[in-house]
């Protein structure tokens, strides 16, 4: 269906090599129905670029990734019906006073959201809007505003009302945290999701031009290098504080 890539680093950095590799995988798997790149700018605001062109053919995508540097970058290569810019991920919305980014791989069935209305025609955006409705309801009824706990509870509740046909592999981000969920029902060899801790002082880190002291967590549908990529297990939910890769931790999302 789609390919996912996301990164958060303790230093402002690029994602050029990983982008090139995920684009190669997308071309090989014929995921050519659009692309999107979201990143956190210097003011702590999300910027998003999307296009219905294939990610490997897009000069706009190549030009953007060449100059883009950030502590948080999310990339999506789409394979799906109704090819249009509005249906390209990542999606950007506001809820509980802040911006959210969401990208998804898989197919779902879910009811129409009440408040946040999709701009496109995808089940992915419908899920995202339902999640935002839920997180607002939960936040309004909670004294504690600790974001990861509210996100986890809202995600669990949204999953309960969702029929996952193939997978709900996804990346979610605020300016504070990067999250990743692996949830598949079929084709475990296809709906893959991996994570990697990249350190600038390692052999591979130096080869990729990373600085001494630079650390990053990278999430990808594919193993992009010969580094020690680890599979995210089914029903695992990863969270990491933006700019602090050492804070990565997992919880299990029972359904």
Q: Average pLDDT, stretch 227-237?
A: 96
Q: Is the pLDDT of residue 148 over 90?
A: yes
Q: What proportion of the chain, given as a percentage, has pLDDT over 70?
A: 98
At residue 1 the predicted structure's pLDDT band, cuts being 50, 70 and 90, is: low
User: Is the pLDDT reported for residue 142 higher than 80?
Assistant: no
Percent of the chain with pLDDT over 90: 84
**Alpha carbons 2 and 22: distance in angstroms, whole number:** 11
Which H/E stretch holds residue 73? strand 70-78
Read out DSSP for 160-202?
HTEEESSB-EEEEE-SSEEEEE--BSS-TTTS--EEEEEETTS
Average pLDDT estimate for 210-226: 92
Provide the pLDDT confidence category of residue 80 given band limits of 50, 70 and 90: confident
Cα-Cα end-to-end distance for the chain: 22
Domains and CATH numbers, the chain: 2-94+170-252 (3.60.20.10)
pLDDT attached to residue 135: 96
Instruction: Say if residue 145's pLDDT is above 90.
Output: no
Residue 126: what are its φ and ψ, rounded to 5°? -60, -45
- Which DSSP state fits 6? E
The mean pLDDT value for 109-130 works out to 95
User: Mean pLDDT throughout 171-177?
Assistant: 98
The pLDDT assigned to 61 comes to: 96
């Amino acid at each position: 269906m789609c390919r996912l890539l996301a990164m958060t680093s303790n230093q402002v950095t690029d994602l050029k090599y990983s982008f090139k590799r995920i684009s190669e995988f997308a071309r090989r798997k014929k995921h050519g129905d659009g692309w999107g790149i979201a990143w956190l700018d210097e003011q702590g605001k999300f910027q998003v670029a999307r296009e219905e062109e294939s990610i490997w053919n897009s000069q706009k995508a190549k030009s953007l990734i060449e100059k883009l540097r950030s502590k948080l970058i999310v990339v999506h290569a789409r394979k799906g019906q109704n090819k249009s810019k509005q249906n390209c991920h990542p999606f950007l919305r506001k809820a509980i006073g802040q911006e959210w980014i969401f990208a998804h791989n898989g197919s779902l069935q879910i009811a129409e959201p009440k408040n946040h209305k999709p701009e496109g025609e995808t089940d992915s955006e419908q899920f995202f809007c339902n999640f935002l409705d839920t997180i607002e309801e939960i936040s309004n009824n909670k004294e504690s505003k600790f974001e990861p706990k509210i996100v986890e509870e809202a995600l669990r509740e949204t999953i309960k009302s969702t029929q996952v046909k193939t997978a709900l592999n996804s990346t979610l981000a605020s300016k504070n945290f990067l999250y990743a969920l692996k949830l598949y029902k079929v084709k475990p060899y296809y709906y893959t999701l991996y994570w990697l801790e990249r350190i600038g002082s390692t052999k591979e880190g130096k080869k990729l031009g990373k600085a001494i002291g630079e650390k990053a967590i990278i999430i990808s549908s594919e193993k992009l290098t010969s580094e020690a990529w680890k599979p995210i297990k089914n029903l695992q939910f990863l969270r990491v504080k933006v700019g602090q890769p050492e804070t990565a931790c997992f919880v299990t999302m029972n359904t």
